[in-house]
Structure 1
């Protein structure tokens, strides 16, 4: 029996518990990241009312992705990939807690907000090359 739904092959989800856990975790992480992006953009817009500063959020995210993505590839080749992913995920959680904290105390500091966005992107970029190897290994 073919368990295909449209263009998505669902057979790996049914066949492998490890793959299912990875898929669910990755999906929830992606959803959380997108929610964070929207919240940060909204917060910057409320603070500045400027489309330029809202665009700077994209730069604060993109520059660390480019710079640290190269380093992340080297680290993935030289370190234990699971450990690297754990540490970079922990760093992302710490940054999200910082973003949450600064929003709750209504700290209206654009440099702090942009720094946290850059730190989150740097952590994501460091762990992404190692994380991309997991589905192949399952």
Structure 2
């Protein structure tokens, strides 16, 4: 991986989350409340294989710790900050990997549910975190990965 490729992934996945949080946080501090839900990945908690993706993993680990740090810093302003960490999902990002028999077989075999998730399966968790039902939840990263990381 070149330094240019590394920086591109870090800039999109981590710096992008920082910049959006910064803009949203300013407004939320003014209004004395808010709720931010960041999208991390199970890849922020594990090293995936067989695909090489060290920059992706590092960027998503950064999102998880940024989430916890912002939650700690902004709790005094009544702002909650959490992240969700999806596992392998059937999205445009994973389409190429799902077409690669080596990757797809590993992903499904190592996921106890033996399948990839569907984007709609994230909805309930996002609604929960966005609602008052989660009023005591902040600084959390919630895995939604078909059991992949429980091993």
Taking structure 2 as the reference length, what is the TM-score of the superposition? 0.30
| More strand as a share of residues | 2
| More helix as a share of residues | 1
Taking structure 1 as the reference length, what is the TM-score of the superposition? 0.31
